[in-house]
Amino acid sequence: MSDSKSNIRKFWMRPKVIFAVFVLIVAYGGGIFSAVLAPYDYAEQDLSSVRQGPSMKHLLGTDFVGRDNLSRIIYSLRTNLIVTFAAVVTGSGFLGIFLGLISGYFGGWIDFLVMRIGDIFLAFPGLLLVILIAATIRPRLINLAREIEDATFLEGLVRWGVIDYVIVFGSLAAFGWVGVARMVRGQVLQLSQFEYVVAGKAIGASTPRILLRHIFPNALPPIIVILTMGMGSITGAEVILSWLGIGIQPPTPSLGSMIREAQNISILQNYPHMLIPPVLVVALLIFAWNLLGDAINDLLNPRSR
Protein backbone atom coordinates (compact mmCIF):
# COMPACT_ATOMS: atom_id res chain seq x y z
CA MET A 1 0.00 0.00 0.00
CA SER A 2 2.81 2.37 0.91
CA ASP A 3 4.32 1.51 -2.44
CA SER A 4 1.25 2.68 -4.34
CA LYS A 5 1.15 5.84 -2.18
CA SER A 6 4.70 6.73 -3.07
CA ASN A 7 3.89 5.99 -6.70
CA ILE A 8 1.05 8.46 -6.53
CA ARG A 9 3.34 11.05 -4.92
CA LYS A 10 5.88 10.47 -7.70
CA PHE A 11 3.06 10.82 -10.23
CA TRP A 12 2.25 14.35 -9.05
CA MET A 13 5.93 15.30 -9.17
CA ARG A 14 6.38 14.31 -12.81
CA PRO A 15 7.04 17.35 -15.02
CA LYS A 16 4.44 16.35 -17.59
CA VAL A 17 1.75 15.94 -14.95
CA ILE A 18 2.58 19.31 -13.42
CA PHE A 19 2.51 20.92 -16.85
CA ALA A 20 -0.77 19.27 -17.88
CA VAL A 21 -2.54 20.03 -14.61
CA PHE A 22 -1.30 23.62 -14.71
CA VAL A 23 -2.64 24.13 -18.26
CA LEU A 24 -5.98 22.54 -17.41
CA ILE A 25 -6.43 24.54 -14.20
CA VAL A 26 -5.58 27.83 -15.92
CA ALA A 27 -7.80 27.07 -18.93
CA TYR A 28 -10.85 25.74 -17.12
CA GLY A 29 -10.39 28.12 -14.21
CA GLY A 30 -10.62 30.88 -16.78
CA GLY A 31 -13.73 29.21 -18.17
CA ILE A 32 -15.48 28.80 -14.81
CA PHE A 33 -14.74 32.33 -13.65
CA SER A 34 -15.09 33.88 -17.10
CA ALA A 35 -17.69 36.39 -15.96
CA VAL A 36 -15.24 37.73 -13.33
CA LEU A 37 -11.95 37.35 -15.20
CA ALA A 38 -12.81 38.60 -18.68
CA PRO A 39 -12.00 42.32 -18.97
CA TYR A 40 -14.89 42.91 -21.41
CA ASP A 41 -18.15 41.24 -22.32
CA TYR A 42 -17.79 38.78 -25.22
CA ALA A 43 -20.31 40.65 -27.34
CA GLU A 44 -19.17 44.18 -26.50
CA GLN A 45 -18.24 45.90 -29.75
CA ASP A 46 -15.95 48.86 -30.06
CA LEU A 47 -16.21 49.91 -33.69
CA SER A 48 -13.62 52.65 -33.26
CA SER A 49 -10.89 50.08 -32.57
CA VAL A 50 -11.32 47.22 -35.04
CA ARG A 51 -8.69 44.54 -35.72
CA GLN A 52 -6.15 46.19 -33.45
CA GLY A 53 -2.97 44.43 -32.45
CA PRO A 54 -2.19 43.64 -28.80
CA SER A 55 -2.15 46.71 -26.55
CA MET A 56 -2.53 47.53 -22.86
CA LYS A 57 -6.24 48.13 -23.38
CA HIS A 58 -6.78 44.88 -25.31
CA LEU A 59 -4.07 42.40 -24.35
CA LEU A 60 -4.67 40.14 -27.34
CA GLY A 61 -6.06 42.78 -29.67
CA THR A 62 -9.56 43.03 -31.10
CA ASP A 63 -11.48 41.26 -33.87
CA PHE A 64 -13.25 42.57 -36.95
CA VAL A 65 -16.02 44.32 -35.03
CA GLY A 66 -13.79 45.48 -32.20
CA ARG A 67 -14.57 42.75 -29.66
CA ASP A 68 -11.81 41.98 -27.18
CA ASN A 69 -10.02 38.78 -28.22
CA LEU A 70 -8.88 37.84 -24.72
CA SER A 71 -12.42 38.06 -23.33
CA ARG A 72 -13.75 36.03 -26.22
CA ILE A 73 -11.17 33.31 -25.59
CA ILE A 74 -12.05 33.20 -21.89
CA TYR A 75 -15.77 32.88 -22.64
CA SER A 76 -15.01 30.30 -25.34
CA LEU A 77 -13.29 28.21 -22.69
CA ARG A 78 -16.52 28.28 -20.70
CA THR A 79 -18.43 27.03 -23.75
CA ASN A 80 -15.87 24.31 -24.30
CA LEU A 81 -15.85 23.32 -20.64
CA ILE A 82 -19.62 22.88 -20.49
CA VAL A 83 -19.82 20.88 -23.72
CA THR A 84 -16.81 18.68 -23.00
CA PHE A 85 -17.79 17.74 -19.47
CA ALA A 86 -21.44 17.24 -20.33
CA ALA A 87 -20.54 14.99 -23.28
CA VAL A 88 -17.94 12.97 -21.40
CA VAL A 89 -20.03 12.52 -18.25
CA THR A 90 -23.20 11.48 -20.05
CA GLY A 91 -21.80 9.72 -23.11
CA SER A 92 -18.49 8.10 -22.33
CA GLY A 93 -19.03 8.10 -18.59
CA PHE A 94 -22.60 7.08 -17.87
CA LEU A 95 -23.76 5.43 -21.11
CA GLY A 96 -20.43 3.80 -21.92
CA ILE A 97 -19.84 2.32 -18.48
CA PHE A 98 -23.45 1.24 -17.99
CA LEU A 99 -23.77 -0.44 -21.38
CA GLY A 100 -20.33 -2.01 -21.05
CA LEU A 101 -21.18 -3.43 -17.61
CA ILE A 102 -24.50 -4.97 -18.57
CA SER A 103 -23.30 -6.24 -21.92
CA GLY A 104 -20.26 -7.93 -20.39
CA TYR A 105 -22.08 -9.31 -17.35
CA PHE A 106 -25.29 -10.59 -18.89
CA GLY A 107 -23.90 -11.60 -22.28
CA GLY A 108 -26.41 -13.21 -24.62
CA TRP A 109 -28.73 -11.05 -26.65
CA ILE A 110 -28.09 -7.88 -24.59
CA ASP A 111 -24.40 -8.19 -25.36
CA PHE A 112 -25.12 -8.87 -29.03
CA LEU A 113 -27.46 -5.89 -29.32
CA VAL A 114 -25.18 -3.39 -27.55
CA MET A 115 -22.05 -4.43 -29.41
CA ARG A 116 -23.71 -4.49 -32.84
CA ILE A 117 -25.21 -1.04 -32.28
CA GLY A 118 -21.70 0.07 -31.34
CA ASP A 119 -20.34 -1.47 -34.55
CA ILE A 120 -22.82 0.54 -36.56
CA PHE A 121 -21.92 3.78 -34.79
CA LEU A 122 -18.26 3.08 -35.49
CA ALA A 123 -18.98 2.32 -39.15
CA PHE A 124 -20.29 5.84 -39.68
CA PRO A 125 -17.84 8.60 -40.34
CA GLY A 126 -18.40 10.19 -36.91
CA LEU A 127 -18.02 13.81 -37.89
CA LEU A 128 -20.46 13.46 -40.81
CA LEU A 129 -23.15 11.84 -38.69
CA VAL A 130 -22.77 14.47 -35.98
CA ILE A 131 -23.11 17.13 -38.66
CA LEU A 132 -26.15 15.39 -40.08
CA ILE A 133 -27.72 15.10 -36.62
CA ALA A 134 -27.00 18.75 -35.87
CA ALA A 135 -28.38 19.87 -39.24
CA THR A 136 -31.57 17.80 -39.20
CA ILE A 137 -32.56 17.78 -35.55
CA ARG A 138 -31.72 21.39 -34.68
CA PRO A 139 -34.71 23.07 -36.39
CA ARG A 140 -37.10 20.52 -34.85
CA LEU A 141 -35.67 20.91 -31.37
CA ILE A 142 -35.85 24.68 -31.64
CA ASN A 143 -39.53 24.47 -32.58
CA LEU A 144 -40.10 22.12 -29.68
CA ALA A 145 -38.31 24.48 -27.29
CA ARG A 146 -40.43 27.40 -28.50
CA GLU A 147 -43.55 25.39 -27.77
CA ILE A 148 -42.25 24.51 -24.32
CA GLU A 149 -41.49 28.17 -23.69
CA ASP A 150 -45.00 29.16 -24.74
CA ALA A 151 -46.64 26.47 -22.66
CA THR A 152 -44.61 26.97 -19.48
CA PHE A 153 -42.94 29.81 -17.62
CA LEU A 154 -39.50 28.77 -18.87
CA GLU A 155 -37.81 31.46 -20.86
CA GLY A 156 -34.66 31.88 -22.88
CA LEU A 157 -34.23 28.22 -23.95
CA VAL A 158 -33.75 29.36 -27.52
CA ARG A 159 -32.37 32.80 -26.90
CA TRP A 160 -29.61 31.65 -24.54
CA GLY A 161 -28.56 28.88 -26.89
CA VAL A 162 -29.48 26.06 -24.51
CA ILE A 163 -30.68 24.06 -27.51
CA ASP A 164 -27.30 24.43 -29.22
CA TYR A 165 -25.56 23.04 -26.17
CA VAL A 166 -27.99 20.12 -26.01
CA ILE A 167 -27.48 19.26 -29.68
CA VAL A 168 -23.72 19.57 -29.62
CA PHE A 169 -23.09 17.60 -26.45
CA GLY A 170 -25.85 15.12 -27.28
CA SER A 171 -24.41 14.25 -30.66
CA LEU A 172 -20.88 14.06 -29.24
CA ALA A 173 -22.10 11.83 -26.39
CA ALA A 174 -23.85 9.59 -28.91
CA PHE A 175 -20.44 8.66 -30.30
CA GLY A 176 -18.41 8.76 -27.12
CA TRP A 177 -19.88 5.66 -25.50
CA VAL A 178 -18.78 3.00 -27.99
CA GLY A 179 -15.08 2.87 -27.16
CA VAL A 180 -15.69 2.93 -23.40
CA ALA A 181 -18.44 0.30 -23.56
CA ARG A 182 -16.21 -2.07 -25.52
CA MET A 183 -13.37 -1.65 -23.08
CA VAL A 184 -15.57 -2.03 -19.97
CA ARG A 185 -17.17 -5.12 -21.47
CA GLY A 186 -13.74 -6.70 -21.97
CA GLN A 187 -12.85 -5.91 -18.35
CA VAL A 188 -16.10 -7.38 -17.04
CA LEU A 189 -15.59 -10.58 -19.02
CA GLN A 190 -12.16 -10.97 -17.42
CA LEU A 191 -13.16 -9.96 -13.89
CA SER A 192 -16.24 -12.20 -13.82
CA GLN A 193 -13.90 -15.19 -13.81
CA PHE A 194 -12.28 -14.17 -10.53
CA GLU A 195 -13.07 -16.03 -7.31
CA TYR A 196 -14.31 -13.02 -5.39
CA VAL A 197 -17.01 -12.36 -7.98
CA VAL A 198 -18.03 -16.02 -7.95
CA ALA A 199 -17.96 -15.91 -4.14
CA GLY A 200 -20.11 -12.78 -4.17
CA LYS A 201 -22.69 -14.60 -6.28
CA ALA A 202 -22.49 -17.66 -4.01
CA ILE A 203 -23.40 -15.69 -0.88
CA GLY A 204 -26.34 -14.21 -2.74
CA ALA A 205 -25.22 -10.66 -3.44
CA SER A 206 -27.59 -8.87 -5.78
CA THR A 207 -26.57 -8.24 -9.38
CA PRO A 208 -26.27 -4.44 -8.99
CA ARG A 209 -24.12 -5.03 -5.91
CA ILE A 210 -21.78 -7.40 -7.72
CA LEU A 211 -21.53 -5.03 -10.69
CA LEU A 212 -21.00 -1.84 -8.70
CA ARG A 213 -19.09 -3.05 -5.63
CA HIS A 214 -17.08 -5.97 -6.95
CA ILE A 215 -16.52 -5.50 -10.67
CA PHE A 216 -16.67 -1.76 -11.31
CA PRO A 217 -13.96 -0.65 -8.82
CA ASN A 218 -11.54 -3.17 -10.30
CA ALA A 219 -12.31 -2.09 -13.85
CA LEU A 220 -11.81 1.56 -12.90
CA PRO A 221 -8.12 2.14 -13.81
CA PRO A 222 -8.46 1.61 -17.59
CA ILE A 223 -11.75 3.53 -17.50
CA ILE A 224 -9.97 6.55 -16.01
CA VAL A 225 -7.32 6.36 -18.73
CA ILE A 226 -9.80 6.14 -21.59
CA LEU A 227 -11.98 8.95 -20.17
CA THR A 228 -8.98 11.28 -19.76
CA MET A 229 -7.86 10.60 -23.31
CA GLY A 230 -11.48 11.10 -24.42
CA MET A 231 -11.55 14.60 -22.91
CA GLY A 232 -8.92 15.65 -25.45
CA SER A 233 -10.78 14.33 -28.45
CA ILE A 234 -14.16 15.71 -27.32
CA THR A 235 -12.52 19.11 -26.79
CA GLY A 236 -11.25 18.91 -30.36
CA ALA A 237 -14.63 17.77 -31.67
CA GLU A 238 -16.44 20.72 -30.08
CA VAL A 239 -13.97 23.09 -31.73
CA ILE A 240 -14.35 21.37 -35.11
CA LEU A 241 -18.15 21.64 -34.95
CA SER A 242 -18.11 25.34 -34.27
CA TRP A 243 -15.34 25.73 -36.83
CA LEU A 244 -17.75 24.24 -39.38
CA GLY A 245 -20.45 26.63 -38.20
CA ILE A 246 -22.81 23.97 -36.84
CA GLY A 247 -21.71 23.95 -33.22
CA ILE A 248 -22.52 26.54 -30.61
CA GLN A 249 -24.00 29.44 -32.58
CA PRO A 250 -22.83 33.06 -32.46
CA PRO A 251 -22.91 35.40 -30.62
CA THR A 252 -21.84 32.82 -27.98
CA PRO A 253 -18.10 32.68 -28.62
CA SER A 254 -16.33 29.43 -29.39
CA LEU A 255 -12.68 28.73 -30.18
CA GLY A 256 -13.69 27.06 -33.43
CA SER A 257 -15.53 30.08 -34.78
CA MET A 258 -12.66 32.35 -33.68
CA ILE A 259 -10.18 30.24 -35.64
CA ARG A 260 -12.48 30.14 -38.63
CA GLU A 261 -12.80 33.94 -38.65
CA ALA A 262 -9.04 34.37 -38.46
CA GLN A 263 -7.84 31.88 -41.04
CA ASN A 264 -8.78 33.73 -44.20
CA ILE A 265 -5.58 34.42 -46.18
CA SER A 266 -5.93 38.20 -46.26
CA ILE A 267 -6.62 38.29 -42.50
CA LEU A 268 -3.65 35.99 -41.88
CA GLN A 269 -1.42 38.33 -43.84
CA ASN A 270 -2.42 41.46 -42.01
CA TYR A 271 -3.72 40.38 -38.61
CA PRO A 272 -1.92 37.19 -37.48
CA HIS A 273 -2.68 38.16 -33.85
CA MET A 274 -6.24 36.99 -34.43
CA LEU A 275 -5.18 33.42 -35.24
CA ILE A 276 -2.32 32.62 -32.89
CA PRO A 277 -4.02 32.90 -29.44
CA PRO A 278 -7.09 30.68 -30.06
CA VAL A 279 -4.99 28.14 -31.97
CA LEU A 280 -2.46 27.98 -29.16
CA VAL A 281 -5.18 27.58 -26.52
CA VAL A 282 -6.84 24.68 -28.35
CA ALA A 283 -3.53 22.94 -29.05
CA LEU A 284 -2.39 23.28 -25.42
CA LEU A 285 -5.73 22.08 -24.07
CA ILE A 286 -5.82 18.92 -26.18
CA PHE A 287 -2.12 18.31 -25.56
CA ALA A 288 -2.59 18.65 -21.79
CA TRP A 289 -5.42 16.08 -21.71
CA ASN A 290 -3.39 13.61 -23.75
CA LEU A 291 -0.32 14.19 -21.61
CA LEU A 292 -2.34 13.58 -18.46
CA GLY A 293 -3.95 10.45 -19.91
CA ASP A 294 -0.51 9.19 -20.87
CA ALA A 295 0.85 9.80 -17.37
CA ILE A 296 -2.14 8.11 -15.70
CA ASN A 297 -1.65 5.17 -18.04
CA ASP A 298 1.99 4.93 -16.93
CA LEU A 299 0.86 5.02 -13.30
CA LEU A 300 -1.87 2.40 -13.62
CA ASN A 301 -0.27 0.07 -16.18
CA PRO A 302 3.42 0.27 -15.34
CA ARG A 303 4.22 -2.50 -17.82
CA SER A 304 3.35 -0.39 -20.85
CA ARG A 305 5.74 2.38 -19.89
Q: Which residues bind other proteins (CB under 8 A)?
A: 16, 119-120, 122-129, 131-133, 135-136, 139-140, 232, 236, 239-240, 243-246, 256, 259, 262-263, 265, 268-269, 272, 275, 279, 282-283, 286-287, 289-291, 294, 304
User: Which of residues 43 and 240 has its CB atom nearest to other proteins in the complex?
Assistant: 240
At closest approach, how far in Å is the CB of 26 from other proteins? 17
3-state secondary structure the chain: CHHHHHHHHHHHHCHHHHHHHHHHHHHHHHHHCHHHHCCCCCCCCCCCCCCCCCCCCCCCCECCCCCEHHHHHHHHHHHHHHHHHHHHHHHHHHHHHHHHHHHHHHCHHHHHHHHHHHHHHHHCCHHHHHHHHHHHHHHHHHHHHHHHHHHCCCCCCCCCCHHHHHHHHHHHHHHHHHHHHHHHHHHHHHHCCCHHHHHHHHCCCCHHHHHHHHHHHHHHHHHHHHHHHHHHHHHHHHHHHHHCCCCCCCCCCCHHHHHHHHCCHHHHHHCHHHCHHHHHHHHHHHHHHHHHHHHHHHHHCHHHC
At closest approach, how far in Å is the CB of 145 from other proteins? 15
User: Which of residues 178 and 211 has its CB atom nearest to other proteins in the complex?
Assistant: 178
CB 145 within 8 A of CB 158: yes
User: Which of residues 45 and 290 has its CB atom nearest to other proteins in the complex?
Assistant: 290
The CA-based dihedral angle spanning residues 36, 38, 42, 48, taken in that order and rounded to the nearest 10 degrees: 130
CB 27 within 8 A of CB 71: no
Amino acid at 189: L
At closest approach, how far in Å is the CB of 240 from other proteins? 6
User: Which of residues 41 and 119 has its CB atom nearest to other proteins in the complex?
Assistant: 119
At closest approach, how far in Å is the CB of 134 from other proteins? 9
At closest approach, how far in Å is the CB of 279 from other proteins? 5
At closest approach, how far in Å is the CB of 39 from other proteins? 25
User: Which of residues 187 and 210 has its CB atom nearest to other proteins in the complex?
Assistant: 187
User: Which of residues 50 and 275 has its CB atom nearest to other proteins in the complex?
Assistant: 275
255-262 and 216-243 are packed helices; what angle lies between their axes, rounded to 10 degrees? 30
At closest approach, how far in Å is the CB of 260 from other proteins? 8
Q: What is the largest CA-CA distance in the chain?
A: 77
User: Which of residues 97 and 255 has its CB atom nearest to other proteins in the complex?
Assistant: 255
Other CB atoms within 10 A of residue 226 CB: 18
At closest approach, how far in Å is the CB of 132 from other proteins? 5
User: Which of residues 205 and 240 has its CB atom nearest to other proteins in the complex?
Assistant: 240
User: Which of residues 73 and 211 has its CB atom nearest to other proteins in the complex?
Assistant: 73
At closest approach, how far in Å is the CB of 124 from other proteins? 5
